[in-house]
Amino acid sequence: MKHLREVTGSEAGLSGDEQIRIALRRIIKRGGEAQMADLYDALETYVQAQGFSLSLQGRASLRRCVNRDAITLGYIEPHDPNRPGWRITPEGRKFMEISLGRTSV
């Protein structure tokens, strides 16, 4: 099996906003809640389609996008140690509806 070059989402051509969209799509696909491993998998699927593999730095960058940016924007609920995982907010759903040009996601 060919070893794929490891890259960050950015090196694969994704902005932080696009990485957040990928994470939100996966959260929606999983019923509104997902674990960080699910979000890594979603981004890994994208970068593999580009001929790469997601690096450790790419994982760290995605965590930052989720932990800081998506929460600050109101798209994902803040971390709650009593309820592990990431949950999309109504604002996050609305953002995805607008992004996808749909009335519901």
Burial of 99 (0-12, 13-18, 19+ CB in 10 A): middle
At 105 the pLDDT is 46
pLDDT at 102: 60
Task: Report helix, strand or coil for 8.
Answer: coil
**Domain-wise residue ranges, the chain:** 5-100
pLDDT tens string, the chain, 105 residues long: the values are 468 899 999 999 999 999 999 999 999 999 999 999 999 999 999 999 999 999 999 999 999 999 999 999 999 999 899 998 999 999 999 999 988 776 444
Domain 5-100 has CATH 3.40.350.10: no
The pLDDT of residue 2 is: 67
Give me the pLDDT at residue 101, please: 75
HSE-CB at 24 with a 13 A cutoff on CA atoms is 29
